[in-house]
Amino acid sequence: MKSKNFNERCYSLLIKVPKGKVTTYKFLAEALGTKAYRAVGNAMNKNPYGAWGRAGGSPLKSELVSCHRVVCSDGKVGGFAAGTPAKIKLLKSEGIEVLNGEINLKEYLFKFN
């Protein structure tokens, strides 16, 4: 059986982050056993399974891989392939409060086991 590439591993883990919660590039990388935070960001940018993706639903599960739920370690929203305003809109639609482009991680952070 062929092992999943790095991006697919990121997407498989990210689908565990529930609606209304976020994780960080750092926590996602560490959960994958790496410090390649920028590689996680690149994977999110290339996400073909997202709400704004090119391929629609994820073959990993019947749901979308919600890369908008990945933010910076300092709580800043960070980048998004469809633009930061679109990311903020998606986060707010899930009940996540975004003030001045930042999220209160004490309230909304999801940590992997």
Burial class of residue 47 (count of CB atoms within 10 Å of its CB; 0-12, 13-18, 19+) = buried
Q: Which residues are catalytic?
A: 67
Instruction: Please count the CA atoms within 13 angstroms of the CA of 51 that sit on its side-chain side.
Output: 14
Q: Kindly tell me the sign of the dihedral angle through the C-alpha atoms of 36, 40, 43, 45.
A: negative
Q: What are phi and psi of 42, to 5 degrees?
A: -65, -40
